Structure 1
Protein backbone atom coordinates (compact mmCIF):
# COMPACT_ATOMS: atom_id res chain seq x y z
CA UNK A 1 0.00 0.00 0.00
CA UNK A 2 2.99 2.27 0.01
CA UNK A 3 2.57 2.64 -3.76
CA UNK A 4 -0.75 4.44 -3.28
CA UNK A 5 0.90 7.07 -1.03
CA UNK A 6 3.65 7.86 -3.45
CA UNK A 7 2.29 10.52 -5.84
CA UNK A 8 4.70 9.65 -8.64
CA UNK A 9 3.72 5.93 -8.63
CA UNK A 10 0.03 6.86 -8.48
CA UNK A 11 0.53 9.12 -11.49
CA UNK A 12 2.40 6.40 -13.41
CA UNK A 13 -0.26 3.78 -12.59
CA UNK A 14 -3.08 6.07 -13.70
CA UNK A 15 -1.20 6.90 -16.91
CA UNK A 16 -0.64 3.20 -17.54
CA UNK A 17 -4.35 2.41 -17.05
CA UNK A 18 -5.41 5.32 -19.26
CA UNK A 19 -3.27 3.96 -22.11
CA UNK A 20 -3.82 0.26 -21.43
CA UNK A 21 -7.57 0.15 -20.73
CA UNK A 22 -8.77 0.96 -24.30
CA UNK A 23 -6.28 -1.45 -25.83
CA UNK A 24 -7.26 -4.26 -23.46
CA UNK A 25 -10.96 -3.57 -23.99
CA UNK A 26 -10.56 -3.59 -27.78
CA UNK A 27 -8.60 -6.87 -27.73
CA UNK A 28 -10.89 -8.73 -25.30
CA UNK A 29 -14.24 -7.50 -26.66
CA UNK A 30 -13.62 -7.22 -30.41
CA UNK A 31 -10.51 -9.08 -31.59
CA UNK A 32 -10.64 -12.33 -29.60
CA UNK A 33 -14.36 -13.13 -30.14
CA UNK A 34 -14.00 -12.64 -33.92
CA UNK A 35 -10.74 -14.52 -34.24
CA UNK A 36 -10.77 -17.86 -36.06
CA UNK A 37 -9.50 -20.50 -33.72
CA UNK A 38 -7.98 -23.60 -35.28
CA UNK A 39 -7.30 -26.60 -33.06
CA UNK A 40 -4.12 -27.24 -35.07
CA UNK A 41 -1.35 -25.10 -36.43
CA UNK A 42 -2.39 -25.50 -40.03
CA UNK A 43 -5.38 -24.11 -41.86
CA UNK A 44 -8.38 -26.39 -42.29
CA UNK A 45 -9.76 -26.23 -45.79
CA UNK A 46 -13.42 -26.82 -46.43
CA UNK A 47 -14.29 -29.88 -48.49
CA UNK A 48 -15.18 -29.01 -52.04
CA UNK A 49 -17.30 -31.00 -54.49
CA UNK A 50 -15.53 -33.99 -55.98
CA UNK A 51 -14.89 -34.29 -59.71
CA UNK A 52 -17.96 -36.46 -60.27
CA UNK A 53 -20.15 -33.65 -58.90
CA UNK A 54 -18.70 -31.01 -61.27
CA UNK A 55 -20.14 -30.13 -64.65
CA UNK A 56 -17.82 -30.59 -67.62
CA UNK A 57 -17.76 -26.86 -68.40
CA UNK A 58 -17.32 -25.71 -64.77
CA UNK A 59 -13.58 -25.07 -64.74
CA UNK A 60 -13.55 -23.50 -61.29
CA UNK A 61 -15.17 -26.58 -59.76
CA UNK A 62 -12.73 -28.85 -61.63
CA UNK A 63 -9.77 -26.77 -60.41
CA UNK A 64 -11.00 -26.88 -56.80
CA UNK A 65 -11.58 -30.64 -57.05
CA UNK A 66 -8.04 -31.10 -58.38
CA UNK A 67 -6.57 -28.99 -55.57
CA UNK A 68 -8.55 -31.01 -53.01
CA UNK A 69 -7.27 -34.21 -54.63
CA UNK A 70 -3.67 -33.00 -54.40
CA UNK A 71 -4.12 -32.01 -50.73
CA UNK A 72 -5.61 -35.44 -49.97
CA UNK A 73 -2.68 -37.08 -51.75
CA UNK A 74 -0.19 -35.10 -49.65
CA UNK A 75 -2.00 -36.08 -46.46
CA UNK A 76 -2.05 -39.76 -47.42
CA UNK A 77 1.65 -39.58 -48.36
CA UNK A 78 2.42 -38.29 -44.87
CA UNK A 79 0.27 -40.98 -43.24
CA UNK A 80 2.11 -43.66 -45.21
CA UNK A 81 5.45 -42.11 -44.29
CA UNK A 82 4.54 -42.11 -40.59
CA UNK A 83 3.46 -45.76 -40.75
CA UNK A 84 6.73 -46.68 -42.47
CA UNK A 85 8.76 -44.77 -39.86
CA UNK A 86 6.91 -46.52 -37.04
CA UNK A 87 7.61 -49.93 -38.54
CA UNK A 88 11.29 -49.13 -39.11
CA UNK A 89 11.58 -47.75 -35.57
CA UNK A 90 9.99 -50.93 -34.23
CA UNK A 91 12.51 -53.08 -36.12
CA UNK A 92 15.50 -50.97 -35.08
CA UNK A 93 14.48 -50.73 -31.43
CA UNK A 94 16.57 -53.69 -30.21
CA UNK A 95 19.34 -54.76 -32.63
CA UNK A 96 20.06 -57.98 -30.69
CA UNK A 97 16.48 -59.23 -31.00
CA UNK A 98 14.65 -59.43 -34.30
CA UNK A 99 11.32 -57.70 -33.96
CA UNK A 100 9.54 -59.54 -36.73
CA UNK A 101 6.98 -61.13 -34.42
CA UNK A 102 6.64 -57.93 -32.44
CA UNK A 103 6.26 -55.71 -35.52
CA UNK A 104 4.28 -58.07 -37.73
CA UNK A 105 0.91 -56.42 -37.09
CA UNK A 106 2.44 -52.99 -37.76
CA UNK A 107 3.92 -54.26 -41.03
CA UNK A 108 0.57 -55.72 -42.11
CA UNK A 109 -1.12 -52.40 -41.39
CA UNK A 110 1.56 -50.59 -43.41
CA UNK A 111 1.18 -53.05 -46.31
CA UNK A 112 -2.59 -52.56 -46.37
CA UNK A 113 -2.19 -48.78 -46.35
CA UNK A 114 0.44 -48.94 -49.11
CA UNK A 115 -1.81 -51.16 -51.24
CA UNK A 116 -4.73 -48.76 -50.77
CA UNK A 117 -2.46 -45.82 -51.65
CA UNK A 118 -1.25 -47.55 -54.80
CA UNK A 119 -4.80 -48.49 -55.81
CA UNK A 120 -5.75 -44.82 -55.64
CA UNK A 121 -2.60 -42.92 -56.71
CA UNK A 122 -0.31 -45.50 -58.32
CA UNK A 123 0.46 -45.25 -62.06
CA UNK A 124 -0.78 -41.66 -62.26
CA UNK A 125 2.65 -40.23 -63.04
CA UNK A 126 4.57 -37.35 -61.48
CA UNK A 127 1.78 -34.79 -61.99
CA UNK A 128 -1.46 -36.58 -61.12
CA UNK A 129 -4.80 -35.08 -62.03
CA UNK A 130 -8.15 -35.81 -60.44
CA UNK A 131 -9.76 -36.73 -63.78
CA UNK A 132 -7.13 -39.42 -64.41
CA UNK A 133 -7.63 -40.80 -60.89
CA UNK A 134 -11.39 -40.85 -61.42
CA UNK A 135 -10.99 -42.72 -64.71
CA UNK A 136 -8.62 -45.18 -63.02
CA UNK A 137 -11.25 -45.81 -60.35
CA UNK A 138 -13.92 -46.29 -63.02
CA UNK A 139 -11.78 -48.78 -64.97
CA UNK A 140 -11.02 -50.70 -61.78
CA UNK A 141 -14.73 -50.95 -60.96
CA UNK A 142 -15.50 -52.21 -64.47
CA UNK A 143 -12.70 -54.78 -64.16
CA UNK A 144 -14.00 -56.00 -60.80
CA UNK A 145 -17.50 -56.37 -62.21
CA UNK A 146 -16.28 -58.47 -65.08
CA UNK A 147 -13.49 -60.48 -63.46
CA UNK A 148 -13.94 -60.27 -59.68
CA UNK A 149 -11.69 -58.45 -57.22
CA UNK A 150 -8.24 -57.56 -58.53
CA UNK A 151 -5.72 -60.16 -57.47
CA UNK A 152 -8.29 -62.81 -56.57
CA UNK A 153 -7.49 -64.95 -59.60
CA UNK A 154 -11.17 -65.46 -60.32
CA UNK A 155 -11.99 -65.84 -64.00
CA UNK A 156 -15.62 -66.41 -64.86
CA UNK A 157 -16.26 -69.15 -67.34
CA UNK A 158 -17.77 -67.86 -70.51
CA UNK A 159 -20.06 -70.19 -72.38
CA UNK A 160 -19.38 -70.15 -76.04
CA UNK A 161 -22.55 -70.40 -78.05
CA UNK A 162 -22.29 -72.80 -80.93
CA UNK A 163 -22.79 -71.25 -84.32
CA UNK A 164 -26.08 -72.20 -85.87
Structure 2
Protein backbone atom coordinates (compact mmCIF):
# COMPACT_ATOMS: atom_id res chain seq x y z
CA UNK A 1 0.00 0.00 0.00
CA UNK A 2 1.63 3.22 -1.08
CA UNK A 3 1.69 6.38 0.96
CA UNK A 4 0.40 8.36 -2.05
CA UNK A 5 -2.81 6.32 -2.25
CA UNK A 6 -3.24 6.51 1.52
CA UNK A 7 -2.80 10.30 1.43
CA UNK A 8 -5.45 10.58 -1.31
CA UNK A 9 -7.82 8.40 0.71
CA UNK A 10 -7.16 10.59 3.75
CA UNK A 11 -8.15 13.69 1.74
CA UNK A 12 -11.27 11.93 0.49
CA UNK A 13 -12.14 10.81 4.04
CA UNK A 14 -11.80 14.39 5.31
CA UNK A 15 -14.15 15.64 2.56
CA UNK A 16 -16.52 12.74 3.30
CA UNK A 17 -16.74 13.44 7.04
CA UNK A 18 -16.94 17.23 6.52
CA UNK A 19 -19.95 16.74 4.23
CA UNK A 20 -21.65 14.44 6.75
CA UNK A 21 -21.05 16.79 9.68
CA UNK A 22 -22.31 19.78 7.66
CA UNK A 23 -25.33 17.88 6.37
CA UNK A 24 -24.22 18.61 2.82
CA UNK A 25 -25.77 15.74 0.85
CA UNK A 26 -24.69 17.00 -2.59
CA UNK A 27 -21.04 17.29 -1.44
CA UNK A 28 -21.10 13.77 0.00
CA UNK A 29 -22.79 12.36 -3.11
CA UNK A 30 -20.24 14.06 -5.41
CA UNK A 31 -17.50 11.87 -3.89
CA UNK A 32 -19.24 8.78 -5.31
CA UNK A 33 -19.46 7.41 -8.82
CA UNK A 34 -22.89 8.14 -10.39
CA UNK A 35 -24.04 4.60 -9.48
CA UNK A 36 -22.04 4.40 -6.26
CA UNK A 37 -23.43 2.79 -3.11
CA UNK A 38 -23.22 3.92 0.50
CA UNK A 39 -23.93 0.95 2.79
CA UNK A 40 -24.82 2.42 6.17
CA UNK A 41 -24.45 0.17 9.21
CA UNK A 42 -27.88 1.17 10.54
CA UNK A 43 -29.94 2.01 7.46
CA UNK A 44 -28.54 -0.28 4.77
CA UNK A 45 -27.56 0.49 1.16
CA UNK A 46 -28.28 3.66 -0.80
CA UNK A 47 -27.33 3.59 -4.48
CA UNK A 48 -26.92 6.62 -6.72
CA UNK A 49 -25.99 10.18 -5.86
CA UNK A 50 -29.58 11.32 -5.26
CA UNK A 51 -30.22 8.45 -2.84
CA UNK A 52 -26.96 9.11 -0.98
CA UNK A 53 -27.72 12.84 -0.63
CA UNK A 54 -31.25 12.01 0.54
CA UNK A 55 -29.98 9.44 3.05
CA UNK A 56 -27.79 12.06 4.70
CA UNK A 57 -30.66 14.52 5.01
CA UNK A 58 -33.47 12.12 5.90
CA UNK A 59 -31.70 9.51 8.02
CA UNK A 60 -28.59 11.05 9.54
CA UNK A 61 -29.77 14.60 10.07
CA UNK A 62 -33.35 13.43 10.56
CA UNK A 63 -32.32 11.43 13.64
CA UNK A 64 -29.42 13.40 15.06
CA UNK A 65 -27.40 16.60 15.40
CA UNK A 66 -23.95 17.70 16.53
CA UNK A 67 -22.21 15.09 14.40
CA UNK A 68 -18.48 14.45 14.82
CA UNK A 69 -16.68 11.96 12.60
CA UNK A 70 -12.93 11.43 12.68
CA UNK A 71 -11.43 9.01 10.14
CA UNK A 72 -7.78 8.15 10.77
CA UNK A 73 -4.98 5.87 9.57
CA UNK A 74 -6.06 5.62 5.91
CA UNK A 75 -4.48 2.82 3.88
CA UNK A 76 -5.15 2.21 0.21
CA UNK A 77 -3.76 0.64 -2.92
CA UNK A 78 -5.81 3.00 -5.10
CA UNK A 79 -8.54 0.40 -5.65
CA UNK A 80 -9.62 -0.28 -2.08
CA UNK A 81 -8.96 1.59 1.13
CA UNK A 82 -9.64 1.35 4.82
CA UNK A 83 -9.87 3.83 7.69
CA UNK A 84 -10.47 3.58 11.42
CA UNK A 85 -13.03 6.01 12.77
CA UNK A 86 -14.68 7.48 15.82
CA UNK A 87 -18.24 8.74 15.25
CA UNK A 88 -20.62 10.58 17.56
CA UNK A 89 -23.91 12.43 17.47
CA UNK A 90 -26.72 13.63 19.70
CA UNK A 91 -29.99 11.84 19.06
CA UNK A 92 -33.08 13.83 18.10
CA UNK A 93 -35.34 10.76 17.96
CA UNK A 94 -38.27 11.33 20.36
CA UNK A 95 -37.54 8.17 22.39
CA UNK A 96 -33.85 9.09 22.80
CA UNK A 97 -33.72 12.88 22.41
CA UNK A 98 -30.58 14.44 23.82
CA UNK A 99 -28.62 11.19 24.25
CA UNK A 100 -25.04 11.35 23.01
CA UNK A 101 -23.88 8.26 21.10
CA UNK A 102 -20.18 7.51 20.53
CA UNK A 103 -18.76 4.48 18.73
CA UNK A 104 -15.65 3.31 16.90
CA UNK A 105 -15.62 1.55 13.58
CA UNK A 106 -13.86 0.74 10.32
CA UNK A 107 -14.77 2.10 6.90
CA UNK A 108 -14.07 0.39 3.58
CA UNK A 109 -13.85 2.45 0.39
CA UNK A 110 -14.00 0.67 -2.96
CA UNK A 111 -12.64 3.14 -5.51
CA UNK A 112 -12.99 3.55 -9.27
CA UNK A 113 -11.11 6.32 -11.08
CA UNK A 114 -10.64 8.28 -7.85
CA UNK A 115 -14.31 8.16 -6.81
CA UNK A 116 -16.13 5.97 -4.31
CA UNK A 117 -17.94 3.09 -6.00
CA UNK A 118 -18.95 1.55 -2.66
CA UNK A 119 -18.54 2.59 0.96
CA UNK A 120 -19.34 0.14 3.76
CA UNK A 121 -18.55 0.02 7.45
CA UNK A 122 -18.27 -2.23 10.46
CA UNK A 123 -19.02 -1.09 14.00
CA UNK A 124 -20.66 -2.45 17.13
CA UNK A 125 -24.29 -1.60 16.43
CA UNK A 126 -25.53 -3.07 19.71
CA UNK A 127 -23.38 -0.65 21.69
CA UNK A 128 -24.83 2.29 19.77
CA UNK A 129 -28.40 1.10 20.33
CA UNK A 130 -27.73 0.54 24.04
CA UNK A 131 -26.47 4.13 24.35
CA UNK A 132 -29.84 5.24 22.99
CA UNK A 133 -31.41 3.26 25.86
CA UNK A 134 -33.53 1.19 23.49
CA UNK A 135 -35.42 -1.65 25.13
CA UNK A 136 -33.54 -4.97 25.13
CA UNK A 137 -36.21 -6.56 22.90
CA UNK A 138 -35.78 -3.80 20.31
CA UNK A 139 -32.00 -4.18 20.34
CA UNK A 140 -32.30 -7.97 19.99
CA UNK A 141 -34.73 -7.64 17.08
CA UNK A 142 -32.37 -5.27 15.23
CA UNK A 143 -29.29 -7.40 15.90
CA UNK A 144 -31.05 -10.56 14.71
CA UNK A 145 -32.12 -8.79 11.51
CA UNK A 146 -28.53 -7.65 10.83
CA UNK A 147 -27.18 -11.13 11.69
CA UNK A 148 -29.58 -12.73 9.21
CA UNK A 149 -28.47 -10.28 6.53
CA UNK A 150 -24.81 -11.16 7.21
CA UNK A 151 -25.52 -14.90 7.11
CA UNK A 152 -27.55 -14.49 3.92
CA UNK A 153 -24.77 -12.84 1.94
CA UNK A 154 -23.72 -14.87 -1.12
CA UNK A 155 -20.10 -14.95 0.08
CA UNK A 156 -21.27 -16.46 3.39
CA UNK A 157 -22.40 -19.72 1.72
CA UNK A 158 -19.15 -21.61 2.61
CA UNK A 159 -19.57 -20.46 6.23
CA UNK A 160 -23.15 -21.70 6.39
CA UNK A 161 -22.06 -25.09 4.96
CA UNK A 162 -19.60 -25.87 7.78
CA UNK A 163 -20.77 -28.46 10.29
Q: Identify the TM-score tier after normalising by the shorter chain.
A: under 0.3
Q: How high is the TM-score relative to the length of structure 1?
A: 0.25
Which has more helix, going by share of residues? 1
Which has more strand, going by share of residues? 2
User: Which structure would you say has the larger Rg?
Assistant: 1
Higher relative contact order (CA closer than 8 Å, sequence separation 6+):
2
